[in-house]
């Protein structure tokens, strides 16, 4: 089985954010949630729970963003 990049979803205090996604992105997000649940042996996972960890992983691995943060001297999260 393919190893997914996103690991277990941590429990955290949520901040409400509303976004509109194209239907194709939502479909893929649901498919990813199902694959992640199957890989971890967990019960079904709500697709909306994946958005924050995916964004966090994306920003953590974006070299350009890391460089900007280093240049600004800020490691704080807004």
pLDDT tens for each residue of 14-32: 778 899 999 999 999 999 9
Q: What is the pLDDT of residue 21?
A: 94
Q: How confident is the model at residue 4 (pLDDT cuts 50, 70, 90)?
A: low
Asked if pLDDT for residue 12 goes beyond 60, the answer is yes
Helix (H, G, I), strand (E, B) or coil at 63: helix
Q: How far apart are CA 57 and CA 35, in angstroms?
A: 18
In terms of C-beta density within 10 A (0-12 exposed, 13-18 middle, 19 or more buried), how is residue 13 classed? exposed
pLDDT tens for each residue of 30-71: 999 999 988 888 788 888 889 988 998 888 888 888 888 888
Q: What is the pLDDT of residue 74?
A: 62
């Amino acid at each position: 089985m393919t190893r997914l990049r996103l690991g277990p979803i941590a429990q955290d205090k949520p901040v409400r954010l509303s976004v509109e996604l194209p239907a194709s992105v939502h479909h893929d997000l649901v498919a990813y949630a199902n694959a992640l649940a199957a890989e971890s042996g967990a019960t079904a996972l709500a697709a909306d729970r994946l958005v924050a960890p995916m964004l966090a992983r994306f920003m953590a691995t974006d070299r350009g963003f890391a460089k900007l943060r280093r240049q600004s001297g800020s490691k704080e999260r807004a």
